[in-house]
Amino acid sequence: MRFFNFEEDMYSKEQITSFQKETEHWLTQAKLFIEEKDIVKLISIIRFHEYRYYVENDPLISDTEFDQLYKILEKFEKDHPGFISKDSPTQRVGNSLIKDFPKTQHLVPMLSLENSYNEEDLIDWDRKAKELSGLSEIEYTVEPKFDGASISLVYENDILVRGITRGDGETGDDITPNIRQIKSIPLMAAFSEHHIQQIEIRGEILMNKSNFSKYNDSLIKQGLAPLANPRNAAAGSLRIKDTSIVAKRNLEGFLYHVSYVTYSKEKTKETILSHAAMLELLWNLGFKSPQKELKVVKGIQAVIETIYNFEKQRDELPYEIDGMVIKVNSLELQEKLGMTSHHPRWAIAYKFKARQATSKLLSVEFQIGRTGAVTPVAKIEPVQVGGVTVSSISIHNEEYIKEKQLKIGDRILIERSGDVIPQIVKSLIDTREGNEQEIIFPKNCPACAQPLFKNEEEAVWRCVNINCKAQMVERIIHFVSKDAMDIKSFGEANVRKFFDMGLLKDIPSVYEFDVQTLNGIDGFGTKSIKNLQEAIEASKTQPLHRLIYALGIRYVGETTAKTLAQKIHSVYDLEHMTEEQLQEIDDVGVKVAKSIHEFFQNPNNLQQIKKLEQLGVIIEGKKLEKISGNLNGQTFLFTGTLTQCKRNEAESLVEQQGGKILGGVSSKLHYLVAGSDAGSKLEKAKKIPSIKILTESEFLELLSK
């Protein structure tokens, strides 16, 4: 076997297809017995995927799938040490270097961490550490495993002199000019006050979630494909030749390890005894270290508990992490445990459940929403992502399909972040075999066969037939939902079932059909029928704002519905208001006013409301008297994730004290309360001087005054 030189070897279309087929074979079949010829092939497959990831920056498999391949090779070599070759992927740390940047050696080799995926791996690692140390219990640190681009920084006499990428572990790319553009990395730090002359610090360059979203939006506006994840964005930014562009990327640097240090003659060694103390030193010197996130615990069970608690909160962080890093806290003990040729024995990485996976796009279904919007839904080979089996993914609209270059039969990379609906990151175009099919967007509604229409200002095709059955089903589902008329026991599945049975035909029929006809139907006994009947009757007296929201007027959410309800006596009042009059209402802009006006000029919609009134639904409300309180007359908007109370609770507290909730940022807004990972609303608010931006703590303090 020869060592691959990625700067010279390129892959043909046939080679790419072959490697991808071999990859699927290795990932789907248990390798109970592996021969030497298998390992030769596996090594070439791993090298191919390393090239796609580190050099091309265009991976064809997920991180977890790559780890699976690596583990197979690692286990074989452990069981058969005689087959280990010097050029095996397990015998070197990084990967091929990118051209054009000067190459610089690390002061200390930059090793990878051993990965673990479950409690058993951690317990076994702890057992080995205790055996080597002779201790019955070890103090560990637990900190986030940042999902960015690894770097090494060298400071001499307090000055930043080098910034280096991981490279092959021994030598990396000197990217010092780009590192100097990252504002969270000090160009000078007072190491000399601690008698340090030279120091090498390891860390990660990140792009936080908010900046990543903005960056991808800018790419889309330029007609370019968005990047797969913040890690790719950070890694790509570090390789840009124009430092002024790097400066605009808003990158961040987290420093988490000191790999090398020399002290002055006056004092040969500073009394820093632990990893936690070293991170605190970096923090105090102005570095962004994970000191605040760091947990120091005793024993592996405490480590496991800390990991599980942190995993629940990972989506609240403003940056991506893909696991946790566990380290022996004592630096003396770290030195005693030492390292293998691949990784230190005193540290291990725990990887969270996969957030990315590859699958196959089998077909596309076109679904009709309550506003007539046609949404293509991709049906894929079921795959586990983040602990959830995914078999369907919305692909939004026709432009999205073109942008992602999707075809039926494609291998695709999908990603899921927390509880967020999975998204297709990209189509793996290089794996195509030639039998893939174009996705043909329909010209007529799949439900009623009427021609579809697309407004020039929108990317969405719509069915404008108000009698379209597919739209009607979705409207009924919305009408009975929790935030609308809140008819319990009348969920989506039952609405669809009753519609197919002919018991429901439109929104008023919710109050017309005889629930006793459900007797004998699976899931409906005497008690459940009684509960449904009572819920239907109770919904007739829901507040006016719930009815307005339940009608499904386009662009009218819960907040706008509340605003409208406070300005009118009867829902019919909206029929007689002009667009200009509607725009005079807080939180109602041009687009919303036009939508409300069009809805109430439609005879079918008015007929529906009259029928609801005849069936006993209350269509009138009371104009709310102004509540006196500390926030009387003040307007609020919340963005980002709140940690001390839920958003609906915070909004309720505002309203109880006379304040008002708006639906968007405008000059009418007085306060924007920004939680963690606040996005575009915060940026927009910063541009309007009259808006005061509050943290969650400042907001709660304002309430208590």
Catalytic positions: 145
Q: Is residue 497 a contact partner of residue 542, using CB atoms and an 8 Å limit?
A: no
Strand-pair partners of 661: 636
Q: Is residue 207 a contact partner of residue 215, using CB atoms and an 8 Å limit?
A: yes
The dihedral built from the CA positions of residue 307, 312, 313 and 318, taken in this order, carries a sign that is: positive
Q: Which residue carries 């920004």 as its tokens?
A: 674
Taking the C-alpha atoms of residue 334 and residue 262, their distance in angstroms, rounded to an integer, is: 18
CA dihedral 59, 63, 69, 72 (to 10 degrees): 160
Closest CA to 205 of 237, 170, 160, 240: 237
Q: Contacts from 461-467 at CB under 8 Å and sequence distance 24+? A: 461/373, 461/374, 461/397, 461/398, 462/371, 462/372, 462/373, 462/374, 463/368, 463/372, 463/374, 464/372, 465/372, 466/602, 466/604
Q: Contacts from 246-251 at CB under 8 Å and sequence distance 24+? A: 246/178, 246/181, 246/182, 247/181, 249/207, 249/211, 249/215, 250/207, 250/208, 250/211, 251/181, 251/182, 251/205, 251/206, 251/207
Q: Is residue 164 a contact partner of residue 154, using CB atoms and an 8 Å limit?
A: yes
Closest CA to 149 of 236, 243, 228: 236
> How much of the chain is helix, strand and coil, in % rounded to 5?
40, 20, 40
Taking the C-alpha atoms of residue 656 and residue 650, their distance in angstroms, rounded to an integer, is: 10
Closest CA to 484 of 535, 548, 534: 548
Q: Is residue 252 a contact partner of residue 207, using CB atoms and an 8 Å limit?
A: yes
Q: Helices 230-238 and 209-221 sit at what angle, rounded to 10 degrees? A: 70
